[in-house]
Structure 1
């Protein structure tokens, strides 16, 4: 009997609560609760609680709600859709009642301005909720894909006898590590053949340092331009096949956005010091960055020899 009374009491309490909530919701919808209450409690307070609730359940960095997409979208539909419409309609009707009762338009205007701002705020939280359901990318996988994309732009291949490594393609991030790995695999390497239009200046300096550290000779059979010449100058002996070209121009940043702490002029000065250290004549160093970045200066072999950029011009590969 006691159990039955408890069940009946609980059911009655639930009915009373449901009736009270329904009565409250209808009262706001009709604008019957007064402008102050409708505005500050039913609009501002409840909306703030909804925003806080969304922030509370937002995924941490590196996580997502992709597996709970239906629940998130249902939350958006209910709280940023149905509930917001209920809030907005009730506040508008309450402001209209306030104008009819007092004759003052200012409260109605303030309410409408707040609702306009609130619409954009709700849209922003709706977009954020949708973004929560997007699968968080695997950063390691994305990094590996980026590395593979860069690696596809260059190659460092050994000759049949393992005494020469041919570096061709764009100078990209990671190419110095590739050269180091190949030098470890082919310890008898004595020459590096360079065939590149240039690329990342920091990697070019890395190549130059690796070439210099290992006492390797550099050789150009076709063309080595831009930052490739920085790698070339690291050679103990620097050979140029007759008809091959070394190209120089002013440094530039290949980006459509501003790069922090990047100064092409300072980088040019660093490379000037590197060329001087390698025995290149000062007059050539002052001249090699005169061409604008959109053009390339190809000095002839006589000038390259006179400036000690090239130590020897040869007719064919293998000539000493």
Structure 2
């Protein structure tokens, strides 16, 4: 497949048809502007969230606020590290809360996804074109900027292979959960160990029966076990509150970051429009988990238009 870059332009007629992007993070941040933020400005944004977590600020979910400072401090720590392992994986993993339930996060991709997942709720007029897909793309841009080190160790070497976003209604508000697969290339021992921990979390949550431990429903050539997928963290978060979720409202998509991110160090990011070629259907493992949450599998298939 041909690479589709965020920075790649579209003709003026198509651009005119695209809806304006809604503001993110409780309506406080212009996504178009945020696509151009350098690493330092992204870190400043995280600091602003910690300084204004309440409803009049960034409206961080109340049960998650006590973890906010630790998450942002951990991101600052990872960004300052000089080796690939230490700049991506926390040692030890960080215990955080998602709506009062404790989880352990260990990669910079998970930490950034947690912030996106607990900060603000979706606007009432949000859809894939004007909010959800752009926000997922912004998530990719943020962790790419934060993991850029040097031209010797290009960021795409460690990009996650997939990202997944799910949105759902809880108590009359629409929330998102987003995360990624583990580090793509390199650091295999750390990735494999993290995958096993994620799998144990799925079993503990009852989303995955014990008999599926160390098994997969994904056929060759890439038979990844449960716990590897980008859906793992979002589904675990949602499982912890699933009794409060209106199951029929849940939707989601997965995308391949490498098809939308530039492949050169510090290339500019200019969001253009949703491109359905980058979306992917759930794998067999995730297709098994979606209905166990009570969700409709068809709501997680990519559109065909």
TM-score strictly above 0.5: no
Which one has a larger percent strand, Structure 1 or Structure 2? 2
| TM-score when normalising by structure 1 | 0.24
Which one has a larger percent helix, Structure 1 or Structure 2? 1
| TM-score when normalising by structure 2 | 0.25
- Tell which structure's C-alpha radius of gyration is larger: 1
| Higher-RCO chain (CA-CA 8 Å, sequence separation at least 6) | 2
